[in-house]
Structure 1
Amino acid sequence: MGFMDRDESWNLFKSAVFSNEALSSEYETIGKHIAEKCHGLPLSIVVVAGLLKSKRTTEDWKSVVKDVKSFITTDPDEQCSRVLGLSYNHLTSDLNACLLNFVIFQKTLIFQ
């Protein structure tokens, strides 16, 4: 999949965060800014949108804007790595521990 243009990025972000909900102009402004900062990378857009889906205050969103600015780079691989790190850093402590426990198992291990 290639890079998305500004409108495609916003539509993906909006559908991932809000589904069919109406949104205020303030959330739309912040959301468009975030979608634009993802530079058309669908993975970045979906990860950040998933992060914001549970954050429903504008203060939380503005905090994420600051974090999104930190992973801006012209290298798509590096940006993907940084956005996944952003997602990891915003996990709750329970989910963080769960993920860390999960990664210690071998790929071939079958849970019963």
Structure 2
Amino acid sequence: MPLAVGVIQTDGFPPVLAAADAMVKAGRVTIVYFGLAERAEFLVAVRGPTAEVRAAVAAGIEAADATPPGGRLVSHYIVPNPPENVEAVMSIDFTPLVERFRV
């Protein structure tokens, strides 16, 4: 079954933490990537069935927007079925580190 990928980018750590927490609680998704972008912007990416990723990203957006002043949502995006070459090049595939959390 093809799995979607959803990404949220925030300015500051508290909003990305709130987004990641909300995402895994709102949908049957697994965090596959977390990282620092630039200028103190953070990224979190989740994988799962498309409907679950959509629900998770929506919850993550709401959580990031609700964090106290000093942080904010920068961007978000959902790819319903990324091709294998995108998975191979970008850090959005399941790694041994996250495999035990795969849903």
TM superposition score normalised by structure 2: 0.31
Which protein has the bigger helix share? 1
Which protein has the bigger strand share? 2
- Work out which of the two has the higher radius of gyration on C-alpha atoms and give 1 or 2: 1
